[in-house]
Amino acid sequence: MALSEKRKGEFYILAQSIVAAFLPIAAVLSFANLGSMTTLAWSTLVACICMGAVLFYRGTLRELANMMLWKYCALVAFFIGVLLYGLYYAALTLTTPGNVAIVLLFEVFTTYAFFRMFKSETMPLSHIIGAILMVVGGGVILLKDLSGINIGDFLILLAVMFAPIGNLYQQEARKLASGEAVLFLRYLLSVPPLFILAYFFDGVSSFRDIYASFLFLLISGVLILGISKLWWIEGLHRTSVPKAIALASVAPVLSFLFAWLVLYQEPTLYQLFSLVPLIIGTLLLTDHVRFPRRIGV
């Protein structure tokens, strides 16, 4: 039995989430030889080459002639390629992949809040409670023992603020061209500013250092930023942004598990405690758990 387009979209999102969950691990492993911005810049360049090859193979290069596509992809490159990923990679040098994975769940809340601005209907009680729980969960991991906010955790929180805007433009871009065309332009337009940031923050890296991290750059560029993001684009094309973000919320949890297994970073009490309200809040905001209608507000 053939899958519906909606089901295909959900499958793409879930498959992407499983692969993308390894991103913070691969990034941290490459930091042994390269700075965070340099790692991001080279990974993005590899992803750009990968998507260019896909464009050539599928014979869709002609789609790049659409100037409106360039406009949307420039916005996607700014909000996601530079701002979101720039803050993401910077945060990985200041906090643990486990913390990054947990705070990333807050993207469900920021996406919900962003798209809620375009609606005028009354907010149900389940969504109100879900939003409160997300804030509580985020507060637990950010404030911990009230000794101060870790700048890395704060950078990830700031990064997810840009995600819904970028994903909205990414969804619009996919209506004009194929997923590989959207990603190719996104990466092409992200590479120059990322290498400029790498120069100012990390300096010039030697060929030996780049070669030493080549395997992790290849994994990040081809598999994680390349193939898995192509699945993400195709998934967004077939479902709403809030639904896609909800399905992708499995990725941070898997990243948390991978950090434990690969980097031997055992979970702390604060991390485990923050996961509870964040996961419950995610289920409430995405309507996977609902209250009876009669108690809605």
- State the angle between helix axes of 107-116 and 269-285 in degrees (0 to 180), rounded to the nearest 10: 30
Token pair recorded at residue 162:
């840009």
Check whether 99 has a pLDDT greater than 60: yes
**pLDDT score of 119:** 60
User: Do 73 and 173 meet the contact criterion of CB atoms below 8 Å apart?
Assistant: yes
Instruction: Please report, for the chain, the start and end positions of each structural domain, with discontinuous segments joined by +.
Output: 5-295
List CB contacts of 20: < 8 A, sequence separation 6 or more: 224, 228, 229, 232, 248, 251
Q: Put residue 287 in one of left, alpha, beta given phi > 0 → left and psi -120 to 50 → alpha.
A: left
What are the pLDDT digits (tens) for 160-211?
A: 889 889 988 998 999 999 989 999 999 999 999 999 999 999 988 888 888 8
**Better-predicted residue by pLDDT, 42 or 215:** 42
List CB contacts of 248: < 8 A, sequence separation 6 or more: 13, 16, 17, 20, 232
Q: Put residue 195 in one of left, alpha, beta given phi > 0 → left and psi -120 to 50 → alpha.
A: alpha
CA torsion, points 276, 277, 278, 283, in degrees to nearest 10? 100
What are the pLDDT digits (tens) for 100-109?
A: 877 777 777 7
What are the pLDDT digits (tens) for 3-26?
A: 677 778 778 888 888 888 887 888
What are the pLDDT digits (tens) for 220-241?
A: 888 888 888 888 888 888 877 7
Neighbours of 67 (CB within 10 A): 7
Question: Which residue has 């194929």 as its token pair?
Answer: 178
